[in-house]
Amino acid sequence: MSGEARPATSDRDRSWTVLELLRWTTDYFKRAGIESARLDAELLLAHALESPRLRLYVDYEKPVLPDERDRFRQLVRSRAVDRVPVSILLGEREFWSLSFKVTRDVLTPRPDTETLVEAALSKLKGPGFGPADPGRRVRILDLGTGSGAIALALASELPDADLTASDLSQAALQIAAENADRLQQKERVRFLHGDLFEPVAGERFDLVVSNPPYVARRDEGKLPPELAHEPEMALFAGEDGLDVIRRLVAGAGAHLSPGGWLFVELSPEQAVTVEQQLTSAGFVDVERRFDLARRPRVVGGRWPGTGSG
């Protein structure tokens, strides 16, 4: 730890145990304004030691070797000084109990997005959902797939569905494809490149899900510094954050089977506006779903007709 990011020189030369390093780093992270200070310290130390996090509790009194400490020091500095998210430093993040590769080319999947997966599954596994032709497989589109988190979570739950995942970012699609490979779902998901529905022109789906960019440009100054390490294209959508959702809602009807559902993740204060947009676009049974903090996080609607829902 150098300057701010390391103990005083005399401390540097002595031997440090796992517990001492954790305590020092937690305190340092707290002073740097990092909320999940202890957890971040544990995750980064486990990464530097190349051991599972829970192993740290068994090894509290174990001295940390100089090489390991050097690796840890670099990680601590990046986290505290440059505010690089832990997921990027580790190169992975868990979502839906699956491990996803994460780089600066993709949005790190967030726990809030599990609300979207739950909403989709509740319809797909609910009574009466399915294509009008019972012999046809259910078709699902994940629009703006990023790391592939939503599509691959759904693939893991729905062995009989056909999944398509698209993104405007080629670099993100590359990571999504790697994740499909890692999770042994490569054959299950078709990855397509392009703007919104353009890569699926002429196709219809029983379910369209999307966690599109929805951060308002006008809020840029209020954002946590960690977001600077994620792709702009994954975050921002015009002055009010609704540029992409507006186009998505307007275009979705032409790509849904009769009775199919659209679910969109959004920022809680956008829920009422997007519900109105869905209704104006012709959707029925418009509903909202709440995240763990009980804020509206997902809104959805059914395309009229019978068949899918």
Ligand X SMILES: C[S@@+](CC[C@H](N)C(=O)[O-])C[C@H]1O[C@@H](n2cnc3c(N)ncnc32)[C@H](O)[C@@H]1O
Q: Which is nearer to ligand X, 109 or 259 (CB)?
A: 109
Taking Cα atoms as reference points, which of 96, 176, 174 lies closest to residue 142?
176
Stretch that binds ligand X, among 54-62, 105-113, 124-132, 297-305 (CB under 6 A): 105-113
Site of tokens 């832990």: 86
Which of 271, 214, 219 is CA-nearest to residue 243? 214
Please tell me the count of residues contacting ligand X according to CB under 6 A.
Answer: 22
Residue in 25, 76, 87, 109 binding ligand X, rule: CB under 6 A: 109
Which range, of 22-30, 46-54, 210-218, 281-289, touches ligand X by CB under 6 A? 210-218
Residues 6+ apart with CB under 8 A from 134: none
Subset of 154-193 contacting ligand X (CB under 6 A): 166-169, 172
State the angle between helix axes of 66-80 and 37-49 in degrees (0 to 180), rounded to the nearest 10: 140
Strand order through the sheet with 284-290: 189-193, 161-167, 138-143, 205-210, 256-265, 296-302, 284-290
Binding mask 221-260 for ligand X (x = CB under 6 A): ------------xx---------x----------------
Work out whether strand 205-210 and strand 256-265 pair parallel, antiparallel, or are unpaired: parallel
Strand partners, 301: 262
Query: In this chain, which stretch among 5-13, 30-38, 143-151, 274-282 interacts with ligand X, using CB under 6 A?
Result: 143-151
Strand residues in the chain grouped as ranges (E): 92-95, 98-101, 138-143, 161-167, 189-193, 205-210, 256-265, 284-290, 296-302
**Cα–Cα distance, 185 to 155 (Å, whole number):** 7
Contact 271, 290 (CB under 8 A): no
CB of 228 to ligand X, least distance (A): 15
Judged by CB under 6 A, does residue 262 bind ligand X? no
Q: Is 145 in the site for ligand X (CB under 6 A)?
A: yes
Smaller CB separation from ligand X, 45 or 234: 234
Select from 25, 115, 147, 308 the one that contacts ligand X (CB under 6 A).
Answer: 147
98 touching ligand X, by CB under 6 A: no
207: three-class secondary structure by DSSP:
strand
Q: Considering the rule CB under 6 A, would residue 212 count as an interface residue with ligand X? A: yes
Shortest Å distance, C-beta 281 to ligand X: 17
CB of 211 to ligand X, least distance (A): 3
Binding residues for ligand X (CB under 6 A): 107, 109, 113, 144-147, 149-150, 166-169, 172, 195-196, 211-213, 233-234, 244
